[in-house]
Amino acid sequence: MTDHDVGAAGDAELSRDLAHAAGQLLLEIRASFGVVEAGDGGRGRDLRDTADRSAHELIAAHLSAARPGDVLLSEEGVDDPARLAADRVWIVDPLDGTWEYGQGRADFAVHVALWTRTPEGGALTAGTVDLPASGTAYSVLDPVPEPAAVPRDRPVRLVVSRSRPPVRLDDTVARLAARLADEGLTGRGVEVLEVGSVGAKAAELFAGRAEIYLHDSGFSDWDLAAPLAVARHRGLWCTAPDGTEFTFNRPSLVQPGVVMVVPAVAAAVRHALRLP
């Protein structure tokens, strides 16, 4: 891996390169295990554990060399209390969507983000979501795309968790569809997509295949940081499910969930979900 200058561009390049390198390692590990039968729980656990550990170790080693003064907060690492006083904290999920990865699915990701202390508290100043199985990555280095229009040839798509969908999902879909119709945006309704990794869910919006991502049951800093950094860079409207702002690198690593929306339907979603 090449050297990366310290600074916004260098940090963003480092996040992109780390995520890519970890993603390629994950693909190599899965290929080396061959086919893991659905009923082979022991081998499936070995695959998932090996992948989680190896991707974490790769990222940790490269960060230690490239940014020795920074702190690493990783799902697979030990939570270092020094992060609470640090000015720069890398927030990493070496394998987001571990279960999907172990099933041979494509909807897993690598998340690498940098939180930087600011006078206002802190900001996500670099971030990459790498989707190794599809050969796609989204980064704060990407050109900012033109705002997506409301689709005319299909319903508006709402991305949710396959394992933990929002409570009262049917009611939410009905309210969203009604509001979109009332505002004259579309009469085609709302279609639900179930996707694995948080990064893979956000990527459905980044790729223009969906317009709304809703998760209301909470997750952790490393689940959200990189997807949120990229979503904000791309101009998406993002808020917590209760309408509050996100904060990172606190004593508690619990995030309340996320509402992530393309601007064209943001007002309708805000009204339908009764958000401020």
Pick the CATH number of 156-272 from 3.40.190.80, 3.40.50.920, 3.20.20.70, 3.90.1150.10: 3.40.190.80
For CATH 3.40.190.80, list the domain ranges present in the chain. Answer: 156-272
Other CB atoms within 10 A of residue 232 CB: 17
Give the mean pLDDT of the chain: 95
Q: Give the pLDDT of residue 8.
A: 73
Taking only the tens place, the pLDDT of each residue in 44-62 is 899 999 999 999 999 999 9
Question: Would the CA dihedral through 76, 213, 23, 49 be positive or negative?
Answer: positive
Q: Provide φ and ψ at 153, rounded to 5°.
A: -105, 5
Q: Give the pLDDT of residue 34.
A: 87
- Mean pLDDT, residues 123-140 taken together: 98
pLDDT at 103 over 70: yes
Query: Burial level of 50, CB count in 10 A (0-12/13-18/19+)?
Result: middle
For CATH 3.30.540.10, list the domain ranges present in the chain. Answer: 8-139
pLDDT at 243 over 80: yes
Q: Which CATH superfamily is domain 8-139 in?
A: Fructose-1,6-Bisphosphatase, subunit A, domain 1 (3.30.540.10)
Taking only the tens place, the pLDDT of each residue in 139-181 is 999 999 999 999 999 999 999 998 899 999 999 999 999 999 9
| pTM (two decimals) | 0.95
Residue percentage of the chain with pLDDT more than 70: 98
- Mean pLDDT, residues 99-123 taken together: 95
pLDDT at 12 over 90: yes
Query: Are 150 and 212 a contacting pair, CB within 8 Å?
Result: no
pLDDT band at 2 (very low <50, low <70, confident <90, very high): low
- Mean pLDDT, residues 231-259 taken together: 96
Residue 99's H or E segment, with its range, is helix 98-102
pLDDT at 7 over 80: no
